[in-house]
């Protein structure tokens, strides 16, 4: 019995759309029958092998353009697509021989004769214009004219086109594009593509002890490698050379159909599409045509199906089984296959993500060890033992005005013990370790990147990369067109471009909006501060003793959750605002657009994610004042202060909730849930009439199936979430040593999640060549440098590490930590409270209080300068500043030493590059010598033949002597 029968699904055409859709939603949402969604959606449940080629089954579809198509009520187009294939049919007849040419010409002549008998006054049928005789608006006529002109230009460029206006998707027409062999060779030479030659050589392996160790390690890690078949051994590499039609004999052209793979073919066609312009009145390329709605989409095709067991083997199915699968989470990624299918740019992203995840393993282990050290030494920590001692009789001043009363320091025992888990001497070591870890990660990535450049033949790619930056975007061309229209009567032949004056309003809008968004973030942080202050006062007024005893934990946790929710919401808002501001600027090229978008998005999201954390780490508890002279906000809200355990515990709570929440909700649930929700919405829309039942039963072809997938939106969101995570791991790691562990667990899922999204949920991206990760590397280096400074300030100002060291070595009578808690507490006379600010319940402890304590370095009330800052404060401050300077310079110096010791290019790679150059020189020298020998042999053979012919014709013609003599002399001169 099939799954559909088991689930009770009615797939018969008789079932109506109106009746089936509600039952489907009910089954999916309330009964959990998610198999229905997979079985009935018209996307991956169909065979698509017929859509990979033209109708002749020989020419492969390299690219697809879609355009809006108006249909009749019956669901059929007014004009069939057969007559649009006339040029392609004639081209096929040319290849088949003279008999087919004559048949095609005879058929075409009869058709033209029939057309000539029709009345000339009748309007011509046009699919885009609806039914015969129906006229459309001038806007649609303009789109049709632009489309036909653009397709004509593509044919002039040598591309072969085939239209399908009778597809199974209503309202969508498809233009299938095929690049023949001569076009591929021409464009590969223009794009300077490096292709493998016939020459192969063996890469030198390490010898001696290092070689044996590496071979043992590779054998031990063999189960972790994906089962991807490679055509040649790992130690064998083909020489690659820039493709040239004059040197085709250097390349292995035995199988021309697979010499250029599908990724290369689609990138070549895309390059032609970007370069081809409509020259009717104003220059317009494919980007402008997409932006104006002449075409609705442009995409290359996936290689084939992935879910069907009977599907033919292809790279996409192999990636789905060995990469985009959660069951292989413990294996390495098949980066070579990813690059082969998606291109170098996406391959570099997943290679970087894989290396970053691997480097998190040692950082996670050290972080866990530091945390376990804190757990093991918490019972031996003298300051927390003094706070938790039952005989401790220190009375603390109220934490808020009026409603709060005096309290015993021993009630903060739990907070003090928990703070020691993250505030211990091992934290300093871990901060230094993570700074060096970041430096080693950057150096390791540079070496890995260089190795990939060598393996992927990307060395010397700078010139090619510069040549690909000049293609204007659609929005830029439209703005230039508008500017040209406004000045058309003044200068018709002048080439217009957007100046700074044209962009000045956009620049001003960008500055104002960026400042406004940052101000909104600060305002929300301030609002959460007011929430904590007011909630703390309200909970202290509660009659429930349990509520009063857990005020601090309740306020901290709820405030952190509120911050998380606000961060998640503002992240989406700021992403949309950053894109809108970048669009306003109208950058000329895609690279410029991407860099400006990355800069704005990073600034806004970084401020959004880290503003609450920075406030807790560096500002909370330092703008409080003292008893009797507190600092107030709006004259009624007293600024909050840290508990006796310090603000480091609250910083850890805020950091952990924000990091875990962003990773769990934003990075995982959103990426899993939103595509599923979109798939459900597309199915419901198809049930409402976009697909009739009999149409749904038909098998969609590959280009129709890919039309339902989500378009590729770039790698910016993927990099951005990893950069923010890198900030959580490095910036405040002194307060949360478990951050690398949670990042590692998240990234193990993230790699497979992104892989599944690229393979199954997105249209195939156009392969883009890149030799590095671009601006993201500079951002990573900047974050790593800032992390050193921030961790230095966290250790010196947020934690109690420096006060403990100062007390132990300067003020302790016996050199131990005994008496440290009493040393950090100042005295206050309760009679000095301001009027109206004293507590309403002074006898809550059962006896009257005359002196209370508060955490600060101030003179006692009986001194000559009561409540003034004491000399201990200045001593601690001086040591804190000195620690920041020393820590920063030492760690950065160590990072620079690591950078200097580790070479950017591995030694074996530099040797292999030099060997390749030598082999190329030898190859071309042999080629030239062979050409000279062939030329000499041909000339000598030709000279002998001419001499024999001249001697044999000596008696027959008197004119032969000068000609033969001239020819012989010319041969000798050659």
- DSSP character string of 529-547: HHHHHHHHHHHHT-S-HHH
* Per-residue tokens: 306: 């992935």
Q: CB under 8 Å to 379, separation ≥6 — which residues? A: 385
How far the first Cα of the chain sits from its last, in Å, is 83
Q: What is the predicted pLDDT for the residue at 78?
A: 42
Q: pLDDT per residue over 357-367, tens digit each?
A: 999 999 999 99
Whether 599 shows a pLDDT value over 70: the answer reads yes
* Per-residue tokens: 713: 């939106």
pLDDT band at 682 (very low <50, low <70, confident <90, very high): low
Calculate ∠ Cα 111-117-118, nearest 5°. Answer: 100
- Among 689, 704, 502, residue whose Cα is nearest residue 584: 502
79 and 147 Cβ atoms separated by less than 8 Å: no
Whether 302 shows a pLDDT value over 80: the answer reads yes
Range ranked top by mean pLDDT from 76-85, 149-158, 310-319: 149-158
366 and 741 Cβ atoms separated by less than 8 Å: no
Instruction: Say which residue, 32 or 666, is predicted with more confidence.
Output: 666
pTM for the full predicted model: 0.80
* Per-residue tokens: 907: 């030694």
Q: pLDDT per residue over 150-197, tens digit each?
A: 888 899 989 999 988 877 777 788 999 999 999 999 998 888 888 888
Whether 938 shows a pLDDT value over 60: the answer reads yes
Please state the rounded mean pLDDT for residues 478-488.
Answer: 70
Sheet strands (E) in 141-224: 160-164, 172-178, 194-202
315 and 326 Cβ atoms separated by less than 8 Å: no
Mean pLDDT of the chain: 77
Integer Cα distance of 420 and 620 in angstroms: 19
Whether 24 shows a pLDDT value over 70: the answer reads no
DSSP track, 670-701: HHHHHHHHHHHHHHHHIIIIIS-HHHHHSPPP
Q: What is the predicted pLDDT for the residue at 780?
A: 92
* Per-residue tokens: 140: 């649609």
Instruction: Say which residue, 342 or 633, is predicted with more confidence.
Output: 342
* Per-residue tokens: 682: 């597309």
Range ranked top by mean pLDDT from 70-84, 396-410, 545-559, 806-820: 806-820
Percent of the chain clearing pLDDT 90 (strictly above): 19
Whether 111 shows a pLDDT value over 70: the answer reads no
Please state the rounded mean pLDDT for residues 496-523.
Answer: 86
pLDDT band at 279 (very low <50, low <70, confident <90, very high): low
597 and 692 Cβ atoms separated by less than 8 Å: no
Sheet strands (E) in 607-738: 625-626, 629-630, 632-633, 637-638
3 state SS for 756-807: HHHHHHECCCCCCCCCCCCHHHHHHHHHHHHHHHHHHHHHHHHCCHHHHHHH
Lowest mean pLDDT among 245-259, 682-696, 756-770, 791-805: 682-696
Instruction: Say which residue, 870 or 683, is predicted with more confidence.
Output: 870
Integer Cα distance of 262 and 881 in angstroms: 60
Please state the rounded mean pLDDT for residues 524-543.
Answer: 83
Instruction: Say which residue, 49 or 655, is predicted with more confidence.
Output: 655
Integer Cα distance of 298 and 351 in angstroms: 27
Q: What is the predicted pLDDT for the residue at 461?
A: 65
654 and 563 Cβ atoms separated by less than 8 Å: yes
- Please tell me the number of Cα atoms within 13 Å of 430 on its side-chain side: 33
Q: What is the predicted pLDDT for the residue at 875?
A: 93
Integer Cα distance of 319 and 337 in angstroms: 8
pLDDT band at 698 (very low <50, low <70, confident <90, very high): low
* Per-residue tokens: 581: 């501001």
Integer Cα distance of 573 and 583 in angstroms: 15
pLDDT band at 330 (very low <50, low <70, confident <90, very high): confident
Report the chain's C-alpha Rg in angstroms. 37
Q: What is the predicted pLDDT for the residue at 633?
A: 78
Q: What is the predicted pLDDT for the residue at 103?
A: 46
Whether 7 shows a pLDDT value over 50: the answer reads no
Q: What is the predicted pLDDT for the residue at 391?
A: 77
Host H or E run for residue 885: helix 871-901
pLDDT band at 28 (very low <50, low <70, confident <90, very high): very low
pLDDT band at 777 (very low <50, low <70, confident <90, very high): very high
Q: pLDDT per residue over 787-832, tens digit each?
A: 999 989 988 888 888 998 999 899 888 888 888 888 989 999 988 8
Q: Is 137 in a helix, a strand, or coil?
A: coil
Q: What is the predicted pLDDT for the residue at 779?
A: 92
Q: What is the predicted pLDDT for the residue at 242?
A: 84
């Amino acid at each position: 019995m099939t799954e559909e029968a088991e689930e009770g699904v009615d797939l018969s055409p008789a079932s109506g759309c109106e009746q089936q859709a509600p039952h489907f939603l009910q089954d999916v949402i309330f009964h959990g029958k998610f198999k229905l969604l997979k079985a009935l959606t018209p996307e991956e449940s169909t065979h698509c092998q017929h859509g990979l080629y033209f109708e002749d089954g020989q020419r492969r579809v390299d690219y697809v353009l879609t355009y809006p198509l108006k249909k009749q009520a019956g669901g059929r187009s007014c004009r069939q697509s057969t007559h649009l294939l006339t040029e392609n049919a004639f081209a096929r007849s040319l290849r088949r021989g003279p008999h087919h040419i004559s048949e095609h010409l005879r058929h075409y002549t009869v058709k033209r004769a029939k057309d000539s008998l029709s009345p000339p006054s009748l309007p011509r049928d046009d699919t885009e214009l609806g039914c015969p005789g129906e006229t459309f608006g001038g806007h649609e006529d303009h789109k049709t004219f632009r489309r036909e002109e653009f397709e004509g230009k593509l044919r002039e460029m040598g591309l072969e086109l085939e239209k399908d206006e009778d597809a199974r998707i209503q309202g969508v027409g498809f233009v299938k594009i095929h690049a023949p062999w001569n076009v591929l060779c021409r464009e590969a030479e223009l794009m300077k593509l490096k292709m493998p030659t016939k020459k192969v050589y063996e890469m030198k392996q390490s010898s001696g002890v290092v070689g044996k160790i590496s071979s043992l390690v590779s054998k031990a890690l063999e189960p972790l490698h994906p089962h991807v078949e490679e055509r040649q051994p790992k130690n064998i590499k083909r020489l690659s050379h820039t493709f040239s039609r004059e040197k085709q004999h250097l390349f292995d052209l035995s199988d021309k159909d697979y010499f250029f793979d599908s990724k290369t073919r689609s990138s070549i066609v895309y390059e032609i599409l970007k370069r081809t312009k409509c020259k009717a009145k104003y220059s317009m390329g494919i980007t402008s045509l997409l932006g104006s709605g002449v075409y609705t989409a442009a995409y290359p095709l996936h290689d084939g199906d992935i879910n069907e067991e009977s599907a033919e083997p292809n790279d996409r199915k192999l990636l789905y089984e060995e990469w985009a699968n959660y069951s292989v989470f413990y294996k390495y990624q098949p980066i070579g296959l990813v690059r082969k299918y998606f291109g170098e740019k996406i391959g570099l992203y997943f290679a970087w993500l894989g290396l970053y995840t691997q480097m998190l393993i040692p950082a996670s282990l050290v972080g866990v060890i530091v945390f376990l050290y804190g757990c093991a030494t918490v019972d031996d920590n003298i300051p927390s033992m003094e706070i938790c001692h039952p005989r401790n009789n220190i009375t603390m001043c109220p934490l808020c005005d009026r409603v709060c009363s005096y309290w015993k320091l021993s009630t903060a025992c739990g907070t003090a013990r928990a703070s020691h888990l993250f505030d211990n001497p091992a934290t300093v070591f871990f901060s230094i370790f993570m700074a060096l870890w970041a430096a080693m990660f950057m150096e390791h990535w540079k070496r890995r990147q260089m190795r990939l450049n060598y393996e992927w033949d990307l060395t010397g790619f700078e010139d090619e990369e510069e040549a690909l930056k000049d293609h204007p975007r659609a929005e830029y061309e439209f703005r230039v067109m508008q500017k040209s229209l406004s000045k058309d009567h003044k200068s018709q032949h002048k080439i217009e471009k957007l100046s700074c004056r044209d962009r000045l309003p956009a620049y001003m809008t960008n500055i104002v909006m960026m400042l406004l968004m940052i101000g909104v973030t600060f305002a929300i942080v301030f609002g959460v501060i007011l929430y904590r202050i007011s909630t703390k006062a309200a909970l202290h007024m509660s009659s429930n003793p349990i509520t009063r005893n857990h005020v601090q934990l309740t306020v901290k946790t709820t405030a952190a959750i509120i911050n998380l929710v606000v961060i998640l919401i503002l992240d989406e808002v700021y992403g949309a605002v950053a894109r809108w501001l970048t669009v306003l600027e109208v950058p000329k090229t895609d690279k410029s657009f991407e860099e400006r978008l990355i800069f704005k998005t990073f600034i806004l999201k970084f401020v959004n994610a880290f503003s609450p954390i920075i406030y807790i780490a560096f500002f909370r508890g330092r703008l409080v004042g003292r008893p009797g002279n507190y600092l107030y906000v709006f004259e009624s809200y007293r600024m909050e202060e840290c508990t006796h355990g310090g603000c480091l515990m609250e910083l850890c709570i805020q950091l952990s909730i924000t990091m875990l929440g962003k990773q769990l909700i934003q990075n995982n649930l959103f990426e899993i849930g939103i595509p599923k929700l979109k798939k459900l919405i597309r199915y419901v829309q198809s049930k409402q009439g976009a697909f009739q039942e009999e149409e749904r039963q038909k098998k969609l072809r590959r280009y129709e199936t890919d039309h339902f997938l989500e378009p590729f939106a770039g790698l910016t969101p993927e990099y951005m979430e990893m950069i923010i995570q890198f900030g959580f791991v490095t910036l405040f790691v002194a307060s949360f040593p478990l951050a690398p562990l949670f990042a590692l667990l998240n990234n193990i899922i993230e790699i497979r999640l992104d892989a599944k999204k690229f393979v199954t949920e997105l249209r195939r991206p156009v392969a883009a060549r890149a030799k590095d990760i671009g601006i993201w590397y500079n951002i990573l280096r900047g974050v790593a440098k800032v992390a050193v400074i921030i961790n230095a300030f966290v250790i010196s100002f947020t934690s109690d590490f420096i006060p403990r060291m100062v007390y132990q070595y300067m003020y302790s009578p016996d050199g131990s930590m005994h008496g440290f808690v009493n040393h950090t507490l100042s005295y206050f006379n309760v009679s000095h409270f301001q009027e109206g600010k004293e507590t309403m319940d002074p006898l809550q402890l059962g006896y009257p209080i005359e002196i209370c304590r508060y955490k600060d370095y101030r003179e006692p009330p009986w001194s000559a300068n009561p409540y003034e800052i004491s000399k201990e404060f200045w001593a601690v401050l001086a040591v804190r500043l000195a620690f920041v300077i020393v820590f920063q310079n030492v760690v950065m110096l160590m990072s620079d030493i690591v950078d200097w010791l580790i070479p950017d290019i591995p030694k074996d790679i530099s040797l292999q590059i030099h060997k390749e150059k030598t082999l190329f020189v030898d190859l071309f020298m042999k080629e030239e010598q062979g050409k000279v020998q062939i030329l000499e042999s041909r000339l000598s053979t030709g000279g002998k033949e001419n001499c024999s012919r001249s001697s044999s014709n000596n008696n027959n013609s008197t004119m032969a002597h000068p000609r033969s003599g001239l020819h012989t002399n010319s041969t000798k001169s050659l």
